[in-house]
Amino acid sequence: MIKRTLYFGNQAYLNLQKDQLVIDPKDENKPKRSVPVEDIGLLVIDHHQVTVTHGLINALIDNNAAILWCDCRHMPNGLVLPMSSNHVFTEKLQYQLSASEPLKKQLWKQTVQAKLFNQAAVLKTLGFDDQKLLYWRSQTGSGDPKNMEGRAAACYWKCLFEAID
């Protein structure tokens, strides 16, 4: 079965009752809800006023769920993983950490090129010229030393904001 990802970007109180994650949104207009803990694969906490009980955290870990905390910029800040049963994740993480610098730079190049290709497709769909982005994509080097991503971002966002006006 595919596990669920739950995202909390608003104030809430999360606790455990009868093997269920109970969500109290702390808003009179929203009712309490519950989700079976066994159905959860990832819990993302992206608000500084989300409270999580110790019992719930242990139940999530016992059911092989991960918990990801975000900082005030909504960026991942901490990750809790089950220690006993997540050897696949640990193995992948170890490979990532031990990757050589040339490999990291090539992967970054591929990431930037894919991003520029997608941004060019958006501009083309909106009727803008996409040739600059496609050119910068072709000029992206290993590790993006000439900052093609930054150049493309400036062009991309300028075109999008012009489209809004």
Tokens of 104: 């990291």
Find the radius of gyration of the CA atoms of the chain: 21
The pair phi, psi for residue 134, each rounded to 5°, is: -65, -35
User: Contact 21/46 with Cβ under 8 angstroms?
Assistant: no
Q: Name the residue with higher pLDDT: 91 or 55.
A: 55
Look up the pTM and report it: 0.53
Q: Give the single-character DSSP code of 71.
A: -
If you average pLDDT over residues 3-27, what whole number do you get? Answer: 94
User: What region, left, alpha or beta, does residue 144 occupy, with left being phi > 0 and alpha being psi -120 to 50 degrees?
Assistant: left
Taking only the tens place, the pLDDT of each residue in 33-58 is: 999 999 999 999 999 999 999 999 99
